[in-house]
Chains A and B, each alone.
Chain A
Amino acid sequence: MLNVENLRAGYSSVPVLHDVSIEVGAGEFVSIVGPNGAGKTTLFKTLSGTVPAMSGSIRFDGHDLLAVPPHRRPHLGIAHVPEGRQVFPSLSVLENLEMGAYTEAGRRSWKENLKRIYSWLPVLAERAAQPAGTLSGGEQQMVAIGRGLASAPKLLMLDEPSMGLAPTVADFIFDRLMDIRRDAGLTILLVEQRVAEALQFADHGYVLETGRVVLAGDSRKLSADDRVRQAYLGM
């Protein structure tokens, strides 16, 4: 479904990603882990087009993504739940979800979708009329995820959904993600600092360090890899 090949990208001609290749098959759950500053967020932004690619290719669902302007990419079925949540603070929770449904697919399936989102994340229904900026961090993360789901995506990209959250809240969010994946059969690409969980739930994973993929493979094998155990799992 998503095929990234030899991608180089960065900020004002300073490359942050060097030669990154990644593959995500339809229905798969893929995790990307790596230390701070490795370029995980930059990779997501390049996929969404807010960071320009310097070379390489990105294919998504039969499209050459680099030829598609950034604001058209969500309409192809990519939902980006960005790092730091980035909800629309002055819009109500419901309006945030409606913004998610800005895509054609999201509009078509809005009613059923909203019901499902509320069933996964009931707190959004309780807070529907509240400005999203007044919610707690965990609630805002749920808004951001709900907003992504409202676009009826084929691929859901999540950039550190557990960032800055208490462990119990982060656990709750991971549980919900598993429910969502099971119920909706979504393809998920996850960037996470909580490496143990990220690999536990994923089908396969990539380890990104200073803009390069240094390890890749089946997530069980990755969790068992000595380098991963030492560097990320503290074992």
Chain B
Amino acid sequence: MTEPQILLEGFLQALAAGLLVGAIYGLMCVGLAMIFGIMRVINFAQGDFMMLGMYVAFFILVGLGVNNLFGATIGPYVAILLAAPVLLLFGYLIHRLLISRVTGARTAGLEGEGHYAQLILTLGIALVLQNGSQVLFGSQLVSIRTPLSSAAWEIGPFWGDFVSVFINKGRGLAALFSVLAILGLWLVITRSRLGRSLRAAADNPEASTYMGIDVDRAYRTAFAIGTCITALAGGLLATNYPFHPFVGLEFVIIMYAGVVLGGMGSILGAFWGGMTIGLVQQLSTLVLPTQLQNTAIFVCFLLIVILRPQGFFGRVVERT
């Protein structure tokens, strides 16, 4: 291999890795976009909801025997899929019992619309989930590995006999599922009656009441969907990424950055925000030491926020 061939291969490999991990980040961000971007609830526990999604999928896999039933290849994906409704319910209940006390009608008109209370409350929930998980699940690393995670597709060679890109099958599949999940959610949000009522409730809660929408329920539903989507991303990530009770801390910042980058309030924007972060993270490894990956993300984040404060997909229309 010649020098340019090595460089090109490194670049393509990083690009592929960025796209794959970016798709999962995108899904995570979309979950937060439902809660923070659209419903404007500050949720610091989003990363821990993701962590919970990982553990629930893990226990469904090994505890409920899904592994034996479906085999080691398909089993993990079945477990991840089954974990989604559990986290949907979890999100619904958390909102009903706790979050609803610091959102909606109760805080309308308060200074910061209850954001301070949300900040403290969700930080508290995050701590309880982290420490509770540590007690219940221990702090050793676990993972939802599939044999696919140690197999790869080779694409290429592109340049004579050289320059091939290897796509990890596990990551490839996780990225594919992420994209499908986002498309599904996007269809629900843009095309369905439910999605329309959620957008209306976010746009103008009072007028939504005049339409006959139960606004509290709409907010709860959006919160549950957001929790479920992020947890789904967690499960997919876990097929390649060993995790522990504090894994949420590593990702909650990525999620907020992605949602802001995409322009608050846009589902597809949040996806591209997450994708951008994945790409920056992976491509930066070409020129920077790995320890600076996250620094690169934030330099990039700052640049974009300075140059395009409304995000890639900022709303043309402001909320009332």
Contact = CB atoms under 8 A, between A and B. Distances in A.
Which range contains the number of A residues in contact with the other chain?
A: 20 to 34
Given A87-B207, A88-B207, A102-B213, A131 B316 contact: yes
B203 A103 contact: no
B18 to A, nearest CB: 31
Given A82-B207, A89-B204, A133-B318, 18 more contacts: A50-B206, A69-B214, A70-B209, A71-B213, A72-B212, A86-B204, A86-B207, A88-B204, A89-B317, A90-B203, A91-B199, A95-B199, A99-B196, A102-B212, A131-B316, A131-B317, A147-B211, A151-B212
Interface of B: 193, 196-197, 199-200, 203-204, 206-215, 265, 315-320
A74 B211 contact: yes
Nearest to A131: B317
Given A74-B212, A99-B196, A86 B206 contact: yes
A90 B207 contact: no
A80 interface: yes
Interface string A77-121: 001101000111111000100111011000000000000000000
Contacts of B320: 86, 89
B205 to A, nearest CB: 9
Given A88-B199, A89-B319, A49 B209 contact: yes
A95 B203 CA distance: 12
A188 to B, nearest CB: 16
B157 to A, nearest CB: 47
A134 interface: yes
A200 to B, nearest CB: 27
A82 B196 contact: no
A1 B56 CA distance: 54
A175 B318 CA distance: 31
A59 interface: no
Nearest to A147: B211
A181 interface: no
Contact of A102 (B203, B211, B317, B318): B211
Contacts of A86: 204, 206-207, 210, 320
B206 A133 contact: no
Q: Is the interface of B mostly helix, strand, loop or mixed?
A: helix
A42 interface: no
A96 B276 CA distance: 33
Interface in A48-75: 48-50, 69-75
B161 to A, nearest CB: 53
A177 B282 CA distance: 61
Nearest to B215: A71
Given A98-B196, A99-B200, A102-B197, A90 B317 contact: yes
7 contacts: A49-B209, A88-B200, A89-B204, A89-B319, A95-B199, A102-B211, A102-B212
Contacts of B197: 99, 102
A151 B211 contact: yes
Contacts of B193: 98, 102
Contacts of B199: 88, 90-91, 95
B53 to A, nearest CB: 29
Nearest to A76: B212
B137 to A, nearest CB: 41
Contact of A71 (B196, B212, B317): B212
Nearest to B201: A88
A82 B211 contact: no
Interface string A121-136: 0000000000111100
A91 B202 CA distance: 11
Nearest to B265: A90
B196 A133 contact: no
B209 A99 contact: no
Nearest to B217: A71
A91 B200 contact: yes
Contacts of B318: 89, 133
B306 to A, nearest CB: 25
Contacts of A98: 193, 196
Nearest to B315: A90
Contacts of A75: 212
A80 B209 CA distance: 10
Contacts of A70: 209
Contact of A134 (B210, B212, B213, B316): B316
